[in-house]
Amino acid sequence: MTSAAGAAGRYLGQTLRLMVGVPDYETYVEHMRRTHPDQEPMSYEDFFRERQEARYGGKKRIGCC
């Protein structure tokens, strides 16, 4: 796979994950290492939980279920 094709594949995969609401942990870790090297990134489980709560409201959600 060429470099351009590989980049396009990664971009497409990231786009599809974002469309269906799956958080991109690898992008988060890369961001943390680049811009916040003094902070430890969250574990995948903590990251996933935080993204779900941000998307669906966590414990503050008001609804029937």
User: In the Cβ-directed half-sphere of 40, how many Cα atoms lie within 13 Å?
Assistant: 4
Distance between CA atoms of residues 21 and 14, nearest Å? 10
Neighbours of 4 (CB within 10 A): 8
For the chain, list the strands marked E by DSSP. Answer: none
Q: Domain spans of the chain? A: 9-52
Q: Residue 35: enclosing H or E segment and its boundaries?
A: helix 25-35
Indicate the pLDDT class of residue 60, thresholds 50, 70 and 90: low
Q: Which two tokens stand for residue 18?
A: 């974002």
pLDDT digits (tens, 9 = 90+) for 2-56: 788 888 887 787 777 777 766 688 888 999 999 999 999 999 999 988 888 887 8
Place of tokens 């599809």: 16
